[in-house]
Amino acid sequence: MALIGKLVVCGVGLIGGSFALALRKKKKVGRIIGIGRSRGSLEHAQALGVIDEIASDWGSALDGADFVLLSMPVGQTDAVMGAMAPYLQPPTVVTDAGSTKHNVMFSVYQRLAAHLPYVVPAHPIAGTEKNGVQAASATLFRGKCTVVTPLSENDPVAVELVREAWQACGASVVDMSPQDHDRVFAAVSHLPHLLSFGLVHELAGRANAELLFSHAASGFRDFTRIAASHPEMWRDICLANRQALLGELDQYLGELALIRSLLLSGNGLRLEQIFREARQARTKWGENRAANGKGNGKG
């Protein structure tokens, strides 16, 4: 039996498209309606069979909807919630896939105050540097984790439905507070993206960029894979999680200041110690990941 009769996906890109494909494959969904700012993208999604219909307004999209996934860049969250609010009726469940949660919570309380029992923010920890519905895949979330940050006002039935939907996609589900979520992902995701973008941008602006890039090899390839990520999506994440990200960046700048002073003074002993501790931690992380069936963690 279908878990969700009518599913509405707002922003049918990599994440929204993969969610739709995964639920359809598992026969967990009846009809899938797409809505978004780009008619062309929605038509592409329909042509690919990811969605069944395109809604041109929130009134028709939400009419009889069981479940709404908001999967556009997080910077649009507030405007989208404002636009959908007048048409939202219980017991339609709303969730999102935003990479930041504090700002989403803020918009939920601002824009969807009358609907709090049914709005369950979440964040699937999956993605690639590719974007767009053409990159969507029914298996994107398989073996991955989705973080759910329930509101104290949530109806347990709504939370359970969001959990089941993500589990049907193959993801495991964990609960976190929005504050913890934003701090953790600032450290292990947002900062590395910023650092990778920064390195490529800095090198690309040099007079000898072509020479430099021509000698870049597999270390550079892996370090900079995420520098090919979606600019608007990452702009929105950086702005939405600005506070936590600045804190992480400053902590990292402290580490670089230490490393710089060790380089300057030629302190090989301490440099090697830092490298050794990093290697141990990274190797252990890869081994734990492999033990949890997530590949060997070594790229």
Binders of a second copy among 94-153, rule CB under 8 A? 125-129, 144-145, 147
Site string for a second copy, 70-89 (x = CB under 8 A): -----x--------------
The correct pick among 223, 290, 291, 293 for binding a second copy (CB under 8 A) is 223
Q: How far apart are CA 173 and CA 167, in angstroms?
A: 7
- 264 binds a second copy per the rule CB under 8 A: yes
Q: Does 203 bind a second copy (CB under 8 A)?
A: yes
Of 114-122, 149-157, 159-167, 232-240, the window that binds a second copy (rule: CB under 8 A) is 232-240
278 binds a second copy (CB under 8 A): yes
Pick from 255, 290, 291, 293: which binds a second copy (CB under 8 A)? 255
Candidates 19-27, 81-89, 151-159, 207-215: pick the segment binding a second copy (CB under 8 A).
207-215
Part of the chain binding a second copy (CB under 8 A), chosen from 4-12, 36-44, 50-58, 190-198: 190-198
Can you tell me whether residue 6 is helix, strand or coil? Answer: strand
The answer to whether residues 245 and 191 touch, using CB atoms and an 8 Å cutoff, is yes
Residue 120: which H helix or E strand, with range? strand 119-120
What are the backbone angles phi and psi of residue 4, rounded to the nearest 5°?
-130, 125
Contact status, residue 21 vs residue 52, Cβ threshold 8 Å: no
- Degrees to nearest 5, angle at CA 15 with 97 and 294: 95
- Count the residues of the shown chain that bind a second copy, applying the rule CB under 8 A: 95
**What totals of helices (H) and strands (E) does the chain contain, helices first?**
13, 9
Q: Which of positions 14-53 make contact with a second copy (CB under 8 A)?
A: none
CA gap 88, 62 in Å, rounded: 6
172 neighbors 145 (Cβ within 8 angstroms): yes
Of 85-93, 102-110, 165-173, 250-258, which part binds a second copy (CB under 8 A)? 250-258
Determine, following the binding rule CB under 8 A, whether residue 164 of this chain makes contact with a second copy. no
**Does 207 engage in binding with a second copy (CB under 8 A)?**
no
Pairing relation of β-strands 122-125 and 145-148?
antiparallel
